[in-house]
Homo-oligomer: A and B are copies of this chain.
Amino acid sequence: MENPFDDTYYMKKALLEAEDAFEKGEIPVGAIVVINDRIIARAHNLTELLNDVTAHAEMQAITAAANFLGGKYLTNCTLYVTLEPCQMCAGALYWSQISKIVYGARDKERGCIALETKLHPKTKMVGGVLAEESSALLKRFFIERRNLN
């Protein structure tokens, strides 16, 4: 029987967000925030629609989760995001004191691992959950929508 509350389950929800971004012509990255097995924020990249480089999926998810919780710290929360966070998003997650970050695909060029962005000591990060699906969606976007192949 499938455990409805494992990392793969939640990453599938983040992937649905990424697919929404794809349909809007946005680089397809999705994110959700979970606390106590409850999804409290869903977001996807909207940098094109909003004309705003800060509108990454994670940034919106952090803001939405804090709004839901009524406080700015995301203690006991987990962020699921289909692509490894960038410096900006990892920097925001540092301030949020989030407990856990789970990402899908690696971003070896602009991701927080390669660029050594500092995470909060309270934060654990794991990657590779539905990495192939997350990566395939991004590749399809750049081939179909940006003619990069």
Contact = CB atoms under 8 A, between A and B. Distances in A.
Interface residues of A, number: 29
A115 B118 contact: yes
A115 B70 CA distance: 30
A63 B88 CA distance: 14
A52 to B, nearest CB: 5
B53 A96 contact: yes
Nearest to A95: B53
Given A87-B91, A89-B91, A118-B87, A52 B47 contact: no
Given A88-B92, A88-B95, A53 B47 contact: no
A66 B47 CA distance: 11
